[in-house]
Amino acid sequence: MADSPQNVLLGLDRDELTLLVEGLGEPSYRAKQLVEAVYRQRVASIEEISTLSQQLRLNLGEKGISIGLPQIEKRFVSEDGTVRYLVGLGDGQSVETVWMPEGDGGEAGDGSEAGELAERFVEGTISGTSGAKAHTEQSEPIAALKRSATPKPQEDRGKELNKELNEDRGQDTNRHQRYQPDLRSKQGQNQGRSTICISSQVGCAVDCQFCLTALLGMKRNLSAGEIVGQVCAVLKDQKVSPPEDRINLVFMGMGEPFLNYENFVKAARLLVEEVGIAERRMTVSTAGIVPRIHDFGGERIRPKLAISLNASNDELRTRLMPLNKKWNLEMLMAAARAYPLRTREWITFEYVLLGGVNDGPENAKEVAELLRGIRCKVNLIALNPGPGIDFTTPGGEQVAAFQKKLRDAGIPAFVRRPRGRDIYAACGQLKRTVEIAAAPGL
């Protein structure tokens, strides 16, 4: 499995860069110059680092040291503005990274600053043939859902939630009708809507039955530099720069981050400390690697935690997610209950709805029982279809009914908007699909 190559700067932290420059007989302040060039300016070559002396640049080149910035091989642009990048790595492998100019609503309701911004900007509904609508974060007042997170008897929480929703709905709708979304992203003026979805592995070993990435199998882990490099490449392409531009970041692309734990944790630290993306604006999704959930709770720098649930009982979850044989729902829920949440932090449970499989009222009831007493929210994701996936997408009426069941039980539940379905960029669709014609540069 891949570790950070010794001849690549991207992926090295300040201490490692200091050792490098001192080993070349240079003063330690050169490390700071390298950090600025690699992580903030996002240069592509040593020759571009004008703050270094010409001799030092020559020395680095003679030793075969390079920046290691991944190359964008192909770019696919959706009709909704989402961009799917095919990012080439040094060994000829590639991964996919997705830019969502307006996010998909995944942050909403988590109690963070990023979540509050997502609540403000997310719009849209999923409509079924009958006209029933599943409300997204935009159409329901969020304050009521936040208050519902306070532990109390489940029935009382549901009644209180409905009362608050009904009282606030008119005012909330009027407020959101005044908002007109602006898809443009200008440096220094990004309002927190944009989200980058990054990969942690080439392929995936988890083998979820409804995910296109699983069809690739597992190739290798990404190094910390390759994980960070995806972000740097997209930021450079989109001409945005944190912290001036507020970017949300989700480790929800190809791979299982907790099966590449050390490289993922180092990448998260570099993204916070050097690239400048706020920790509170990051989320990592795991399929349920229970030992690593316990480890993650003790990390100094720690993105928010999302857990892919996708089933309401062990029999169904084992069918859909074979890793449930090793870490079943009892173990997973125990880890979630023991997880040390910070102030205003919630755990997110992601639930992909598969038509006629896990989307019935009995499933919603079982989910509510599983999550009883956990400070959490549920993101509902109607299946994003793809070739080779033997499941169907439920209609809007079914999605709405499932959401209502959870909310009636006092569980904050949101519907994530599908982004980039037409270019295979949506959740569960990343499979390095290149049959779609590459879109021109932005």
3-state SS, one letter per residue, for the chain: CCCCCCCECCCCCHHHHHHHHHHCCCCCHHHHHHHHHHHHHCCCCHHHCCCCCHHHHHHHHHCCCECCCCEEEEEEECCCCCEEEEEECCCCCEEEEEEECCCCCCCCCCCCHHHHHHHHHCCCEEECCCCCEEECHHHCCHHHHHHCCCCCCHHHHHHHHHHHHHHHHHHHHHHHHCCCCCCCCCCCCCCCCCEEECCCEEECCCCCCCCHHHHHCEEEECCHHHHHHHHHHHHHHHCCCCCCCCCEEEECCCCCHHHCHHHHHHHHHHHHHHHCCCHHHEEEEECCCHHHHHHHCCCCCCCEEEEECCCCCHHHHHHHCHHHHCCCHHHHHHHHHHCCCCCCCCEEEEEEECCCCCCCHHHHHHHHHHCCCCCEEEEEEECCCCCCCCCCCCCHHHHHHHHHHHHHCCCCEEECCCCCHHHCCCCCCCCCCCCCCCCCCC
pLDDT digits (tens, 9 = 90+) for 79-98: 888 899 999 999 999 999 99
User: Measuring CA to CA, which residue among 312, 336, 337 is closest to residue 324?
Assistant: 312
More confident residue, 402 or 215: 402
| Weakest-pLDDT range from 136-140, 254-258, 336-340 | 136-140
Between 385 and 246, whose confidence is greater? 246
Q: Does the pLDDT value for residue 129 go beyond 60?
A: no
What's residue 119's pLDDT?
A: 54
**pLDDT (0 to 100) of residue 37:** 98
Q: Is the pLDDT of residue 316 over 80?
A: yes
Question: 435: burial class by Cβ within 10 Å (0-12, 13-18, 19+)?
Answer: exposed
Q: How far apart are the first and last CA of the chain?
A: 34
Q: How confident is the model at residue 137 (pLDDT cuts 50, 70, 90)?
A: very low
pLDDT band at 186 (very low <50, low <70, confident <90, very high): very low
Establish how many alpha carbons lie within 13 A of residue 134's alpha carbon, considering only the half-sphere containing its beta carbon.
29
More confident residue, 192 or 213: 213
User: 37-41, 205-209, 257-261, 273-277: which range is least confident on average?
Assistant: 205-209
CA 180 to chain centre: 25
Is the Cβ–Cβ distance between 391 and 210 less than 8 Å?
yes
Of residues 26, 96, 102, 119, which has the active-site annotation? 96
| Whether the predicted pLDDT of 126 surpasses 50 | no
233 vs 144, more confident: 233
Task: Out of 197, 204, 211, 427, pick the active-site residue.
Answer: 427
pLDDT band at 151 (very low <50, low <70, confident <90, very high): very low
pLDDT band at 139 (very low <50, low <70, confident <90, very high): very low
Q: Percent of the chain having pLDDT more than 70? A: 73
282-293 pLDDT, tens digit per residue, is 999 999 999 999
Structure token digits, residue 327? 């870490």
For residues 432 and 216, is the Cβ–Cβ distance under 8 A? Answer: yes
Query: 75-89 burial by CB neighbour count: b if 16+ within 10 A, else e?
Result: bbbbebbbbbbbbbb
pLDDT tens digits, one per residue of 46-59 = 999 999 999 999 99
Let me know if 435 is a catalytic residue. Answer: no
Q: Measuring CA to CA, which residue among 136, 101, 123, 110 is closest to residue 282? A: 110
Which of these, 405, 388, 442, lies nearest to 154 by C-alpha position? 405
How many CB atoms sit inside 10 A of residue 44's CB? 15
Beta strand 218-221 with 125-127: parallel, antiparallel or unpaired? unpaired
The rounded mean pLDDT for the chain is: 81
Choice between 435 and 263, residue whose per-residue pLDDT is larger: 263
**Mean local confidence (pLDDT), 183-194:** 52
CA 263 to chain centre: 16
Q: Are 233 and 199 in contact (CB under 8 A)?
A: no
Domains in the chain: ranges and CATH: 14-62 (1.10.150.530), 71-107+180-423 (3.20.20.70)
Dist CA 21 CA 17 (whole Å) = 6
C-alpha–C-alpha distance, residues 112 and 226, integer Å: 27
Q: Has this prediction a pTM greater than 0.85? A: no
The span from the CA of 85 to the CA of 74, in Å, is: 6
Is 204 designated active site? no
Share of the chain above pLDDT 90, in %: 61
User: Positive or negative CA dihedral for 26, 27, 30, 32?
Assistant: positive
Range with lowest mean pLDDT among 123-127, 216-220, 411-415: 123-127
d(CA 288, CA 291): 9
Q: What is the pLDDT of residues 329-376, one digit of tens each?
A: 999 999 999 999 999 899 999 999 999 999 999 999 999 999 999 999
pLDDT at 422: 57
> Would you call 15 exposed, middle or buried from its count of C-beta atoms within 10 A (0-12, 13-18, 19+)?
exposed
